Amino acid sequence: SHKSRSEDSARLRIQIQSQLGQFHCRRSEFEKAKTYLYAALNVAEKRLPRDDIDKALLLNNLGVFCKYSGRFAEGRKFHARAMSLLRKQKEPDLHFEATLLHNMGGIERAAGRFKEAEGPARASTALRRSLLGTENVTYAEDLSALASILSELGKFREAESSFKKALSIFKKTYGARHSEVALN
């Protein structure tokens, strides 16, 4: 009972620090974000079981932080560790796997490594399509990210087709004046 309360307390602390880190990351306050996210990782490493899925979620958040703060090599390591933990689960969360693949492609794209970005982006798009269908906005976000990568690789026909599919979903979901429509 004491151990479970201690672990619950650690999870709550990790969640709060992670959310604060993400908040500061969105505000481009990278030093503050780093402080909170690394503090959360420190607690997770010390207080959670070795293969705990909450560590994978935190590692994904750290990878995203690294993408936005330009720490690409470090971010790749966080995403790889998160995927490793995810795949050790008895029943891996396929929605989280799709998100993680999306983020793995995103960090490679941000680093200008478009060939390396293509594989995870294709995998996230295919997995999301199988989970959510072809009219879901999250699928459209994956499709748009893939289209951007394909465009950078000079695969213009496929990129255009993917952008058009994503655009159609965004228009149906958000209306013609939404920022995702303008972006695509």
Q: What is the 8-class DSSP label of residue 51?
A: T
Whole-model pTM: value is: 0.91
Q: How far apart are CA 103 and CA 66, in angstroms?
A: 11
- Give me the pLDDT at residue 183, please: 78
Count of CB atoms within 10 A of residue 84's CB?
12
pLDDT tens for each residue of the chain, 184 residues long: 556 788 889 999 999 999 999 999 999 999 999 999 999 999 999 999 989 999 999 999 999 999 999 999 999 999 999 999 999 999 989 999 999 999 999 999 999 999 999 999 999 999 999 999 999 999 999 999 999 999 999 999 999 999 999 999 999 999 888 888 787 7
- Give me the pLDDT at residue 106, please: 97
Picking from 155, 126, 157, 130, the residue whose alpha carbon sits closest to that of residue 143 is 126
